[in-house]
Amino acid sequence: MSTIASSIFTPDTAARFDKLATIYPLKRSALIPMLLYAQDEIGFVSDAAVAEISQRLDLLELDVRNVLSYYSMLRTVPAGKYNVQVCTNISCMLRGGYELLDHCKNKLGIGHKGVTPDGLFSLEEVECIGACCWAPAVQVNYDFHDDLTPAKMDAVLADYAAGRGKDVK
Amino acid sequence: MPQLVSHPDEVKVVSRRFGQGAAEIDKYIELDGYKAVQMGIEQGPEWIVNTMKASGLRGRGGAGFPTGMKWSFVPKTSDKPKYVLVNGDESEPGTCKDHVIFLHDPHAVIEGTMIAGLAIGAKMGFIYLRGEYRYLLKIVEKAVADAYAKGFLGKNIFGKQGVDFDIITQTGAGAYEVGEESALMESLEGKRGVPRIKPPFPAVVGLYGGPTVINNAETIANAPHILLMGGEAYAKLGSERNGGTRLFGISGHVERPGVYELPMGYSLRKAIYEVAGGIKDGKKLKAVVPGGSSCPVLKADEIDCGLDFDQMAKAGTMLGSGGIVVLDESVSMVEFALRTIAFYQHESCGWCIPCREGTDWLKKTLTRFHAGGGNKKDIDNIQYLAENMMGRTFCPLGDAAAMPTLGFIKKFRSEFEEYLEGVRVEHPLIHIKPVGELAMAGAGH
Ligand SMILES: Cc1cc2nc3c(=O)[nH]c(=O)nc-3n(C[C@H](O)[C@H](O)[C@H](O)COP(=O)(O)O)c2cc1C
Ligand code: FES
């Protein structure tokens, strides 16, 4: 393993990455988890994160960017502290997913991939998140909210705004 | 948290421990957990494979390939390590059954993975969950750690000298295509999730070049139950050539949406009208997508068939992932078709041209059509495009887009024609942005 003199990550994450690079038959397998965990910590995958991860896994930065650009959850610009992801795929659409998306747009005053000026919320229209039987469904960061209505959505947003929302990492 | 549902017609095998706290290892053990794998160690690989074959279990990931047969294809000896790979990418719209398994019975997935490992002679298994399932990944990670702590995983498992098995959990980061088995292997190797050419098939050259069995999470979670009850007993629960039971996620316009475990071959009509409580708000049924969004649609008068792989094929569609999406009379098929195709266009990995361009043109044409700029030729063009994608793409994602498209056009052509004459959705829900400037190309005006 390449040793990292001074990691940009917190000691916990750095230790986790040290371990991740050793558990697989090929260490490159750690790439996608590392990118996602880096994003969880920084809020997006920064240039510095790309540099450190490529060093950790003995990859070219180009290799890392190539993979980074493929996966829809990975981003290279910051999102809001709470990224509100509204599913509008078929099962959700049939139960009001688009109305919910419109409601969030109006409520937050931002569009798809927009961020509120205070940086608290961002909004994304997403594809099926595997909660079709509890539609319409929304994920705020990694936390699922099921069977929503505009009123329930307001309560969810209010909880996050007040710092009461769950934040699974 | 997903709501658990139940109905008297359910036959609970894989869902038997749901709602009982079996994510805790001691509870799982109390409920017969980790007995099957120990039987497997005693009885040996041949017994496991034969039991799986006798069970008639067919893959729950979509294609319905017989699981016992799949396991028997793995060469007995190999220079490279063999692997078991559990597909928990669950991204087919309408599908949320693996979600419930990971939540309520993660040890069943772990035990099933070990059983598959014993059957093929692998010492390592991977459980791959889609990136969005972080809270479920944590549950599975904890379950794996608990199994290690008990000596059920690692070296000399269950105190048996020389029997080793390791499990690594892995997160994806958002990509439907990664659910395709070879793309999943690429992703697990830290690459873009593009498919590999076949042959060689994964059973011969798979993950890291080693022989690999890849199964859906529900398929794998069935294995311990099958070993415990016996292959024949499991087979008898289902219909001819379709052993056992299956988790069906019923969503859309029904009164009681949810994940129900029903015997294979159970009536689709009863699943909708009895199990899921019928059409929401007393409306009329218009159509059903019976197994996730890639399956051709059935019309309201075509639902008198049994939910198994063969009967669905006979009805001109597929059982797919078991995600039954129910549409009431208010749905515009043009709009529904556009939303379905928009998904496949978004998720096409771009590796091969018929899929990348095909889904793109389908979406462009449908977007224009939906927005009111369609013409009669478009309907034929959509069909022509889809027909030309079928069987010509590198992996089945192209087919997954073409098949439902052909279904919409063939079954609801008159609705597309009426749409041209102004019978439209009054308040279109979808504001899909045209892709690039060419979106109006071919509009003919
Ligand atoms: C585009 C595409 C996406 C797929 N997504 C999934 C998925 O999310 N989960 C899954 O189990 N199988 C998925 N499959 C099927 C897998 O390729 C594979 O057949 C399956 O995991 C085998 O397991 P089984 O035999 O237990 O069904 C997908 C296939 C294609 C072509
Ligand atoms: S369609 Fe929205 S979660 Fe599946």
Per residue in B340-387, pLDDT (tens digit) is 999 999 999 999 999 999 999 999 999 999 988 999 999 999 999 999
Cα gap B377→A134, rounded to integer Å: 39
Among B115, B177, B216, the mutation site with the greatest number of ligand 1 atoms within 8 A of its Cβ is B216
Query: Domain span at residue B94?
Result: 25-235
Structure tokens at B315: 């009805």
Indicate whether B60 belongs to any domain.
yes
Contact B423, B349 (CB under 8 A): no
Cα gap B38→A113, rounded to integer Å: 50
Q: A90 and A157 share a domain? A: yes
What pLDDT was estimated at residue B2?
A: 86
Indicate the pLDDT class of residue A5, thresholds 50, 70 and 90: confident
φ and ψ of B267, to 5 deg: -65, 130
pLDDT tens per residue across span B246-262: 999 999 999 999 999 99
φ and ψ of B167, to 5 deg: -125, 135
Indicate yes or no: CB of A91 within 8 angstroms of CB of B251: yes
Cβ neighbors of A164 (< 8 A, separation 6 or more) are: none
Indicate yes or no: CB of A28 within 8 angstroms of CB of B190: yes
Q: Quick check: helix, strand or coil at residue B306?
A: strand
Cα gap B386→B377, rounded to integer Å: 14
Cα gap A48→A56, rounded to integer Å: 12
Q: Which of A70, A74, A91 sits opposite B93 (nearest CB)?
A: A91
pLDDT (average), residues A25-46: 97
Structure tokens at B203: 């059973």
Indicate whether B9 belongs to any domain.
no
Q: Is A76 on the interface with B (CB under 8 A)?
A: no
Q: Which of B91, B93, B349 sits opposite A90 (nearest CB)?
A: B93
Taking the centre of ligand 1 as the mean of its atom positions, its distance from the CA of residue B179, in whole angstroms, is: 5
What pLDDT was estimated at residue A4?
A: 80
Indicate yes or no: CB of A98 within 8 angstroms of CB of B430: yes
Indicate whether A138 belongs to any domain.
yes
Cα gap B267→B256, rounded to integer Å: 17
> Which of B251, B254, B340, B345 to mutate to probe the A interface, most A CBs <10 Å?
B251
Indicate the pLDDT class of residue B445, thresholds 50, 70 and 90: very low
Answer whether B177 contacts ligand 1 (Cβ < 6 A). Answer: yes
Nearest Cα residue to atom 22 of ligand 1: B215
Q: Among A50, A70, A90, which residue terminates a domain?
A: A70
Q: Is B253 on the interface with A (CB under 8 A)?
A: yes
Per-residue burial over B371-383, b = 16 or more CB atoms within 10 Å of its CB, e = otherwise: bebbeeebbebbb
Indicate whether A3 belongs to any domain.
no
Cα gap B57→B87, rounded to integer Å: 16
The CATH number given to whatever domain includes residue B292 is: 3.10.20.600
Q: B43 and B183 share a domain? A: yes
Helix (H) or strand (E) segment spanning residue A156: helix A150-161
Q: Among A45, A70, A95, which residue terminates a domain?
A: A70
pLDDT tens per residue across span B109-119: 999 999 999 99
Q: A98 and A153 share a domain? A: yes
Indicate whether A115 belongs to any domain.
yes
Indicate whether B417 belongs to any domain.
yes
Q: B302 and B340 share a domain? A: no
Q: B143 and B228 share a domain? A: yes
Q: A89 and A59 share a domain? A: no
Indicate yes or no: CB of B91 within 8 angstroms of CB of A28: no
Structure tokens at B112: 């099933």
Q: A91 and A153 share a domain? A: yes
| Residue matched to tokens 């069935």 | B222
Q: B189 and B63 share a domain? A: yes
Q: B234: burial class by Cβ within 10 Å (0-12, 13-18, 19+)? A: buried
Answer whether B59 contacts ligand 1 (Cβ < 6 A). Answer: yes
How many structural domains comprise chain B?
3
What pLDDT was estimated at residue B436?
A: 40
Cα gap B141→A45, rounded to integer Å: 24
The CATH number given to whatever domain includes residue B214 is: 3.40.50.11540
How many structural domains comprise chain A?
2
Cα gap B364→B387, rounded to integer Å: 17
Cβ neighbors of B32 (< 8 A, separation 6 or more) are: B228
Q: A95 and A25 share a domain? A: no
pLDDT tens per residue across span B277-315: 999 999 999 999 999 999 999 999 999 999 999 999 999
Q: Among B277, B297, B328, which residue terminates a domain?
A: B328
Q: B352 and B313 share a domain? A: no
Answer whether A129 contacts ligand 2 (Cβ < 6 A). Answer: yes
Q: B52: burial class by Cβ within 10 Å (0-12, 13-18, 19+)? A: buried
Among B181, B184, B214, B294, the mutation site with the greatest number of ligand 1 atoms within 8 A of its Cβ is B181
Indicate whether A77 belongs to any domain.
no
Q: B43 and B146 share a domain? A: yes
| Shortest Cα distance, chain A CAs vs residue B25, angstroms | 22
Q: B54 and B184 share a domain? A: yes
Smallest CA-to-CA distance from B13 within B220, B249, B323, B234 is with B234
The answer to whether the bond into B199 is cis (omega within 30° of 0) is: yes
Cα gap B34→B22, rounded to integer Å: 12
pLDDT tens per residue across span A75-118: 999 999 999 999 999 999 999 999 999 999 999 999 999 999 99
- Look up residue B364 and give its amino acid: K
Q: B123 and B200 share a domain? A: yes
pLDDT (average), residues A120-148: 97
Cα gap A163→B15, rounded to integer Å: 36
Q: Quick check: helix, strand or coil at residue B129?
A: strand
Judged against a pLDDT cut of 90, whether residue B136 lies above it is answered with yes
Q: Quick check: helix, strand or coil at residue B9?
A: coil
Q: B231 and B270 share a domain? A: no
Number of C-beta neighbours around residue B390 at 10 A: 16
- SS3 percent helix, strand, coil of chain B, rounded to 5, is 45, 15, 40
User: In this prediction, what percent of chain B has a pLDDT beyond 70?
Assistant: 95
Q: B54 and B202 share a domain? A: yes
Indicate yes or no: CB of A142 within 8 angstroms of CB of B331: no
Indicate yes or no: CB of A89 within 8 angstroms of CB of B95: no
Indicate yes or no: CB of A146 within 8 angstroms of CB of B293: no
| Shortest Cα distance, chain B CAs vs residue A13, angstroms | 16
Q: B181 and B312 share a domain? A: no
Query: Domain span at residue A147?
Result: 82-161
Q: From chain A, pick out residues whose CB is under 8 angstroms from the CB of B94.
A: 90-91, 128, 132
Residues 297-356 of B with CB under 8 A from A: 323, 325-327, 331, 336, 339-340, 343, 346-347, 349
DSSP labels for B131-172?
Answer: TT-HHHHHHHHHHHHHHHHTTSSBSSGGG-TT--BEEEEEE-
Q: Which of B2, B172, B251 sits opposite A32 (nearest CB)?
A: B172
B258-263 and B245-252 as β-strands: parallel, antiparallel, unpaired?
antiparallel
pLDDT (average), residues A114-135: 97
Judged against a pLDDT cut of 50, whether residue B442 lies above it is answered with no
- Helix B36-43 with B106-120: angle, nearest 10 deg: 10
Q: Is B80 on the interface with A (CB under 8 A)?
A: no
Indicate whether A2 belongs to any domain.
no
Q: Among B167, B202, B235, which residue terminates a domain?
A: B235
Indicate whether B14 belongs to any domain.
no
Judged against a pLDDT cut of 80, whether residue A50 lies above it is answered with yes
Judged against a pLDDT cut of 90, whether residue B434 lies above it is answered with no
What pLDDT was estimated at residue A167?
A: 76
The answer to whether the bond into B202 is cis (omega within 30° of 0) is: no
Judged against a pLDDT cut of 80, whether residue A72 lies above it is answered with yes
Q: Please tell me which residue of chain B has the smallest CA distance to A24.
A: B168
Q: Please tell me which residue of chain A has the smallest CA distance to B170.
A: A33
Q: From chain B, pick out residues whose CB is under 8 angstroms from the CB of A73.
A: 131-132, 173-174
Smallest CA-to-CA distance from B324 within A46, A90, A15 is with A90
Angle in degrees, CA B208, B132, B290, rounded to 5? 90
Question: Count of CB contacts below 8 A, A vs B?
Answer: 159
Q: How far apart are the two ends of chain A, measured CA to CA in Å? A: 26
| Shortest Cα distance, chain B CAs vs residue A130, angstroms | 5
The CATH number given to whatever domain includes residue A124 is: 3.40.30.10
